[in-house]
Structure 1
Amino acid sequence: MSLQPSTSASQPLPKSSSPPPPPPTKPKVSTKFSDLLAFSGPAPERINGRLAMVGFVAALAVELSKGENVLAQISDGGVSWFLGTAAILTLASLVPLFKGITAESKSKGLMTSDAELWNGRFAMLGLVALAFTEFVKGGTLV
């Protein structure tokens, strides 16, 4: 029997290096036109909300400056203005979605994706409330 110290005790054991876990993969985002514009897709509510925000502010601005109610604004050529704005905002909203960029944000604060959705919802309600108030009142707000 040898009384020499064992070599394994004097040398540190090599650490077993396991490979790092793979980074979490993002779920695949569909860029198909039918998926983007589906009822539960990412585009319809966002586009409608953006149009409602622009329309609500524009309707109030024209009403305060010219004294025209919403129906008068539409009959005075508001439809062509709306169609042009709708086309531009729709295209601008769809381009990032076709590239696979999601509209949801993980950030906190005032300017988030969720805040945009809520502002759009309130703008939609605001347009309906404005038109209904003018109808009941029989004229403009002012």
Structure 2
Amino acid sequence: MAAASCYGVAAFSCGSPVTRRAAGLNQFFVPSNYALSPAKRVLKFREDGQIKEPAAVPPTPTPPPKPKVRTGFSDVLAFSGPGPERINGRLAMIGFVAAIGMELASGQDIFAQVQNGGVPLFLGTSVLLSLASLIPMFKGVTAESKSGDLMTSDAELWNGRFAMLGLVALAFTEYVKGGALV
């Protein structure tokens, strides 16, 4: 703390270099961050000895505007549109969790669950989630615009893809095994 008390004294009488460094001071007795140092100017000299000022740096161009999101029915539900994979992924995530949960609760495999009254529940859930996914898409809201740090649109797509694969693998395994997985 000896260096902190000698701000008005010359740098040579301010204690050891270790004390000055710990207090954030360099050998010239100024705070050692670069925010206080003046900006450097680069001057060029011409052949006749005159100083030539550097040319001004042109401003960076503004980025082009983002293309408008197309919200037509055929655009949203096109093969490469935002709707099919996102909706199928969301349905697969719900379906996979529901299938595993019902299998653990009742001991029935997927095929038995569908045969025992699962079709109306499946259709109702599919219609409800599809409409809930399509309405924002028709209004022009993208999943990327609603992404956060943890819950991103890419994570949702990958989780949906894995859920689709998991649901198919669960059904195939139960078919080959001839009964419930657990």
Normalized against structure 2, the TM-score is what? 0.63
1:66 and 2:106 are equivalent in the alignment: yes
The CA distance in 2 between the partners of 1:109 and 1:52, in whole Å, is 23
One-letter amino acid of the structure 1 residue matched with residue 150 of structure 2: L
Q: Give the number of the structure whose alpha-carbon radius of gyration is greater.
A: 2
Match of 2:170 among 113, 130, 136: 130
5+ residue gaps, structure 2, are 1-60
Q: Once the 2 structures are TM-superposed, how far is the Cα of residue 65 of structure 1 from its aligned partner?
A: 0.4
Deviations 1:83-142 (A, max 9, x none): 111111111101111111112259564310000000000000000110111111111112
Alignment of 1:3-18 (within 5 A): none
Match of 1:45 among 78, 81, 85: 85
Displacement over 4 Å in runs of 4+: 21-24, 105-108
Normalized against structure 1, the TM-score is what? 0.80
The residue number in structure 1 matching 2:67 is: 27
One-letter amino acid of the structure 1 residue matched with residue 110 of structure 2: V
The residue number in structure 1 matching 2:179 is: 139
Match of 2:152 among 93, 97, 112: 112
One-letter amino acid of the structure 2 residue matched with residue 135 of structure 1: Y
5+ residue gaps, structure 1, are 1-20
The CA distance in 1 between the partners of 2:78 and 2:147, in whole Å, is 26
1:95 and 2:135 are equivalent in the alignment: yes
1 or 2, which has the higher helix percentage? 1
Percent identity between matched residues is: 74
| Number of residue pairs aligned between Structure 1 and Structure 2 | 125
* RMSD, aligned α-carbons: 2.3
